[in-house]
């Protein structure tokens, strides 16, 4: 850290005194705040709360809810975003990211993967891009209005990332693994009889990925808005 030279007058003579900037009040306060945040994150209480939300998210991730009359059979709803979002609001965006990552790892350990990790990668992208923007905004605007804005931004980010990853990563990977995009298009024909390999994305992205992810995020956001304050008061007791 560079020292700052401060001029002082002593007995009619001007002298220079070297002052370490780390001794400045603002600098010291910043260091103390960072240290306090680090200690709070690694405290036994925070670790226990993260573990609780992660366990609940893992259980909910294992429960898949098919919606065959609305979406293709390979798009199944789960409610794991709810404890991840509530944990993010309670503990911050870093803790929320930990919940999303660890619950996915636990799901893989318990259940394995049926998609060659492609679907799991999609879940990771969507989960992180939901909780991190929402958590950052709510961290600095802890009001009901701030919560609504935070959840709306998180929903838009997660849905946007889902559209991009499905177009350029997820579906191309599935097509490579399962014999071409025509095989995937065949799963869409029950809902959209005119869907083919040539026009697959024009059906799948706006009519399946977009509404599915909006439903997923809006459901999690709605439950979070209703439940967070009550859960937060309980957490404050521990």
* Domains in the chain: ranges and CATH: 41-62+75-235 (1.10.1760.20)
Label residue 39 by pLDDT band (50, 70, 90).
low
Q: Is 13 exposed, middle or buried (0-12, 13-18, 19+ CB in 10 A)?
A: exposed
Q: Where are the beta strands (DSSP E) in the chain?
A: 3-10, 13-20, 65-66, 76-77
pLDDT confidence of residue 11: 45
pLDDT confidence of residue 236: 83
Lookup: tokens for 157:
């980010």
pLDDT for residue 91 is more than 60: yes
**pLDDT above 70 covers what percent of the chain?**
82
Q: Contact, 94 vs 47, CB < 8 A?
A: no
pLDDT for residue 237 is more than 60: yes
Q: Contact, 150 vs 137, CB < 8 A?
A: yes
**What is the rounded average pLDDT of the residues 41-55?**
90
Instruction: Supply the pTM of this predicted model.
Output: 0.83
pLDDT for residue 63 is more than 90: yes
CA angle 112, 86, 81 (to 5 degrees): 35
pLDDT confidence of residue 116: 83
pLDDT confidence of residue 179: 85
pLDDT for residue 14 is more than 60: no
pLDDT confidence of residue 221: 97
Would you give the DSSP letter of residue 191?
T
**What is the rounded average pLDDT of the residues 184-210?**
94
**What is the rounded average pLDDT of the residues 97-117?**
93
Lowest mean pLDDT across 17-26, 137-146, 214-223:
17-26
CA 33, distance to chain mean position in Å, is 24
Label residue 70 by pLDDT band (50, 70, 90).
very high
Label residue 74 by pLDDT band (50, 70, 90).
confident
Contacts of 9 (CB under 8 A, 6+ apart): 15
pLDDT confidence of residue 42: 67
Lookup: tokens for 131:
């909780």
Q: What mean pLDDT is reported for the chain?
A: 87
């Amino acid at each position: 850290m560079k020292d700052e030279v401060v001029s002082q007058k002593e007995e009619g003579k001007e002298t220079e005194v070297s002052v370490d900037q780390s001794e400045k009040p603002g600098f010291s306060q910043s260091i103390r705040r960072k240290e306090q945040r680090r200690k709070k994150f690694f405290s036994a209480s925070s670790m226990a709360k993260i573990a609780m939300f992660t366990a609940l998210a893992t259980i909910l991730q294992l429960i898949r809810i098919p919606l065959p009359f609305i979406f293709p059979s390979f798009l199944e709803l789960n409610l794991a975003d709810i404890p991840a979002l509530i944990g993010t609001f309670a503990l911050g965006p870093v803790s929320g990211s930990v919940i999303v990552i660890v619950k996915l790892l636990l799901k893989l350990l318990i259940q394995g993967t049926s998609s060659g990790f492609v679907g799991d990668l999609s879940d990771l992208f969507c989960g992180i891009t939901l909780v991190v923007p929402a958590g950052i905004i709510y961290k600095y605007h802890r009001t009901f209005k701030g919560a609504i804005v935070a959840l709306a931004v998180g929903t838009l980010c997660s849905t946007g990332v889902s559209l991009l990853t499905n177009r350029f990563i997820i579906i191309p990977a599935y097509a490579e693994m399962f014999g071409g995009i025509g095989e995937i298009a065949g799963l869409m024909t029950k809902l959209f009889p005119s869907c083919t390999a040539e026009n697959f994305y024009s059906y799948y992205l706006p009519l399946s990925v977009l509404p599915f992810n909006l439903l997923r995020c809006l459901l999690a956001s709605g439950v979070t808005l209703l439940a967070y304050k009550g859960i937060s008061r309980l957490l404050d007791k521990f």
